[in-house]
Amino acid sequence: MTTTTAAGYRLLELTADRVEEFRAVDAMAFAEPARDAALDADVPFAVPLDRAVAVETDAGDGPGEIVAVHGSYAFTLPTPGGEVPCAGLTWVGVRPDHRRRGLLHRMIRAHLDRSLGRGEPVSALFAAEPGIYGRFGYGSAADHVRMTLPRGAALRDVPGSADLTVRFATLDPAAHEGLVDDVYSAAGEGRPGWIRRGSDALRRIAVADPPAWRNGGEPARIVTVRDAGGDARAFAIVRRTQTWADGGAEYPVQVRLAAAADAAAAHRLWSVLLDLDLTSTVTTGMLPVDDPLLALLVDTRRPVPKLTDNLWVRLLDVPAALAGRRYAAPLDVVLGVRDALLPGNDGAWRLVTGEAGADGTYGARVEPAAGAEPDLALDVRELGAAYLGGRSLAALAAVGQVTAARPDALHRAATAFGWPVAPVCPWVF
Ligand SMILES: CC(=O)SCCNC(=O)CCNC(=O)[C@H](O)C(C)(C)COP(=O)(O)OP(=O)(O)OC[C@H]1O[C@@H](n2cnc3c(N)ncnc32)[C@H](O)[C@@H]1OP(=O)(O)O
């Protein structure tokens, strides 16, 4: 780290009496609109107090002024074929008049140490700006796709779609929270990165719709798709905005979150969303790059899919993290890992897969390999990038971010670290 920590500040764990101060700092850092009672009632403060940390000016014995904040959620991160405890870094903010004095450096140092101390082998985040977190060993580990589709965009058929029933209703947190959580979980089965909300407050926010979020649109609606037995198989939370032009109605439909447990349900859901009266376009939420919609659309060119970085992953405990996922092919490799911040990771690690499981994937044991010549040398940032199976080690090697002693070692490792299901988290935390 090149920035030295500024003197005159100290870290403190948040207490209930200072939550408002904490929130005010983040609001200033993110230029948030003023809160009102409706917003506060619908959108609770979701960071657990014992995971929220502030930086205050050092005022001797008395309390100082809070000028920087961060927190984390206790998530379970789905990995390729497994899952690991994960500190979801969030609410990072420094007051504009205290920025670039090393406060983020100081907070990340505390975050890494505290997360490791809690036994979380991995941390993940959404980056407000992509230039910030690589220096701390976070690697960009997934992308998502967004598209704006014309009304009536054609879909290829899926058997069974027409048998499913659809309901269009106003989003009601009390009525829909459980449905959204259940279908979301079923839809993400086997998908790396598909983080569940994991707390009442975050589940509540998933179905919140305070007026401040509406931007002149209607109250959020929910489209649900059910099978013959009445079980929910898909949902989409959407908002239309009245728009009248010379040629008539041109309402845009904005999908906040959509999830479908199978292809028939996905087909039924998007068929409805693409054929709503008065509308002209449908903008998707954050989709995995292999979302069923991309395979169902007859024309994927006209919507001009836009690719954006999604989860960033930081391995805090390299052997535990690497043993916490499965591998797509057998592998015996020595990884030379560089980690400037967490010396426990820095060095050579041998990763050896075992027998293939029933699904054809492989578990692995990971042990120190001090003195062994690495087959691949890489920074912990690149290991984080490859961790969820969404970035190829070979592609990273092609741009010099991974160094391979031999081409066959690179090929084998890139194949084993890859995964047939693309990682994504479809909501921002
Ligand atoms: C997971 C999340 O919550 S993401 C949210 C991040 N927060 C925001 O974007 C809100 C607005 N911005 C801020 O609050 C602050 O400017 C922060 C948090 C981004 C940075 O905090 P600071 O205390 O200024 O960072 P600090 O002084 O420790 O510098 C950290 C390093 O990151 C760099 N850096 C900071 N912000 C940025 C940025 N937006 N883009 C690129 N580099 C950045 C600094 O130049 C410095 O580089 P160095 O390691 O070469 O010295």
Q: Ligand 1: which of 9, 25, 51, 94 to mutate, judged by most atoms within 8 Å of the beta carbon?
A: 94
Token digits of residue 368: 């120190």
| Ligand 1: centre distance to CA 135 (Å) | 10
ipTM greater than 0.90: yes
Residues 6+ apart with CB under 8 A from 413: 331, 333, 335, 375, 376, 393, 404
Nearest CA to ligand 1 atom 32: 132
Is the pLDDT score of 4 beyond 90?
A: no
Collapsing DSSP to helix, strand or coil, 407 comes out as helix
pLDDT above 90 (res 197): yes
Look up residue 208 and give its two tokens.
């919140």
**What does 347-399 look like in DSSP terms, one character per residue?**
EEEEEEEEEE-TTS-EEEEEEE-TTPPPSEEEEHHHHHHHTTS-S-HHHHHHT
* pLDDT confidence of residue 7: 87
To test the pocket of ligand 1, the residue of 5, 92, 95 to mutate (highest count of ligand atoms within 8 Å of its CB) is 92
Mean pLDDT over 337-361 rounds to 98
C-alpha 58/C-alpha 87 separation (Å) is 27
Q: How many CA atoms lie within 13 A of 285 on its CB side?
A: 17
State in words which class domain 145-306 has.
Answer: alpha beta
Confidence of residue 247 (pLDDT cuts 50, 70, 90): very high
Ligand 1 center from residue 96 Cα (angstroms): 11
137 marked among binding-site residues = no
Domains 9-120 and 145-306 share a fold: yes
List, for residues 133-168, the tens digit of each pLDDT value.
999 999 999 999 999 999 999 999 999 999 999 999
Q: Where are the domains of the chain?
A: 9-120, 145-306, 318-415
- Provide the residue count of the chain: 429
Residue with tokens 């990971």: 366
pLDDT band (50, 70, 90) for residue 37: confident
Q: What confidence tens digit (pLDDT) does each residue in 399-409 have?
A: 999 999 999 99
CATH of the domain spanning 9-120? 3.40.630.30
pLDDT score, position 1: 30
Instruction: List b or e across 376-409, with b for residues whose CB sees 16 or more CB atoms inside 10 angstroms.
Output: bbbbbbbbbbbbbbbbbbbebbeeebbebeeeeb
Please choose, from the candidates 224, 295, 229, the residue with its C-alpha nearest in 3D space to the C-alpha of residue 260.
224
Per DSSP bridges, beta strands 376-379 and 362-368 are unpaired
What is the mean predicted confidence (pLDDT) over 275-299? 98
Nearest CA to ligand 1 atom 50: 2
131 lines ligand 1 (CB under 6 A): yes
pLDDT at 2: 29
The architecture that CATH gives domain 318-415 is: 2-Layer Sandwich (3.30)
In angstroms, the CA 27 to CA 30 distance is: 5
